Amino acid sequence: MKFLFELMMSFFKIGAFTLGGGYAMVPLIQEEVVEKKGWIDESEFLNIIAIAQSAPGPIAINTAVFTGYRLKGISGAVFATLGAVLPSFLIILIVATFFLSVKDSAVVKRAFMGIRPAVVALIVYSVVRLVKSNDVKGYAFIIPLLACLGIVLFNLHPILIIVLAAISGIIKTIVRGEDMGE
Amino acid sequence: MILLRLFYSFFKIGAFSFGGGYAVLAFIQKEIVNLNHWLLPSEFVDVVAISQITPGPIAINAATFVGYKVAGYPGSAVATLGVTLPSFLIIIVIARFFIRFQENHYVKAAFDFIRPATIGLIAAAAVTTAQASIVDIKSALIGIFIFILLYYMKLDTILAIALSAILGLLLYR
Residues 6+ apart with CB under 8 A from A82: A8, A11
**pLDDT single digits (tens) A151-161:** 899 989 888 99
Residues B143 and B69 in one domain: no
Residues B4 and B79 in one domain: yes
Question: Residue A92's pLDDT is what?
Answer: 93
The residue type found at A69 is: Y
Which of A136, A165, A135 is CA-nearest to residue A150?
A: A165
Nearest to A123 among B86, B125, B158 (CB): B125
pLDDT over threshold 70, residue A20: no
Mean pLDDT of A110-129: 90
Residues B96 and B129 in one domain: no
Mean pLDDT of B118-129: 88
Question: What is the domain count for chain B?
Answer: 2
CB contact under 8 A, B157 and A123: no
Among B81, B101, B121, the domain boundary falls at B101
Question: Residue A182's pLDDT is what?
Answer: 42
Domain range for B1 = 1-101
Residues B109 and B55 in one domain: no
Composition of chain A by helix, strand, coil, percent to 5: 80, 0, 15
Higher pLDDT, A1 or A70: A70
- Tell me the pLDDT band of A90, cut-offs 50, 70 and 90: very high
Residues B3 and B67 in one domain: yes
Which residues of chain A neighbour B36 with C-beta distances below 8 Å? none
Mean pLDDT of B88-113: 82
Query: Percentage of chain B with pLDDT > 70?
Result: 97
Residues B77 and B108 in one domain: no
Which of A56, A29, A16, A21 is CA-nearest to residue B83?
A: A56
Question: Residue A28's pLDDT is what?
Answer: 78
**pLDDT single digits (tens) A29-73:** 888 888 889 998 887 887 788 788 778 888 889 989 999 999 999
Question: Residue A76's pLDDT is what?
Answer: 95
| Minimum distance, in Å, between the CA of residue B141 and any CA atom of chain A | 9
Mean pLDDT of B92-118: 81
Question: Residue A181's pLDDT is what?
Answer: 45
Burial class of residue B138, CB neighbours in 10 A (0-12, 13-18, 19+): middle
Residues 6+ apart with CB under 8 A from A138: none
Residue A72, chain B, CB below 8 Å: the answer is no
Question: Residue B16's pLDDT is what?
Answer: 87
Among B101, B124, B151, the domain boundary falls at B101
Residues B78 and B127 in one domain: no
Question: Residue B100's pLDDT is what?
Answer: 67
Which residues of chain A neighbour B150 with C-beta distances below 8 Å? 121-122, 125
Phi-psi region of A73 (alpha: psi -120 to 50; beta: other; left: phi over 0): left
Residues B110 and B156 in one domain: yes
Among B101, B123, B141, the domain boundary falls at B101
Residues B113 and B138 in one domain: yes
CA separation for the pair A17, A24 (Å, rounded): 10
pLDDT over threshold 90, residue B106: no
Which of A148, A172, A143 is CA-nearest to residue A158?
A: A148
- Tell me the pLDDT band of B101, cut-offs 50, 70 and 90: low
A-contacting residues in B 71-90 (Cβ below 8 Å): 73, 76, 80, 83-84, 86-88, 90
Residues 6+ apart with CB under 8 A from B92: A65, A69, A74, A77
Indicate if the alpha-carbon torsion angle A125, A131, A137, A140 is positive or negative.
negative
**pLDDT single digits (tens) A74-89:** 999 999 999 999 999 9
Nearest to A143 among B19, B117, B160 (CB): B117
* β-bridge mates for residue B55, sequence order: A19
Residues B97 and B112 in one domain: no
pLDDT over threshold 60, residue A179: no
**pLDDT single digits (tens) B1-37:** 899 999 999 999 999 888 777 888 889 999 999 999 9
The residue type found at A101 is: S
**pLDDT single digits (tens) B124-173:** 989 988 988 899 999 999 999 999 999 999 888 788 889 999 999 999 98
Mean pLDDT of chain A: 86
Residues B8 and B70 in one domain: yes
Residues B73 and B119 in one domain: no
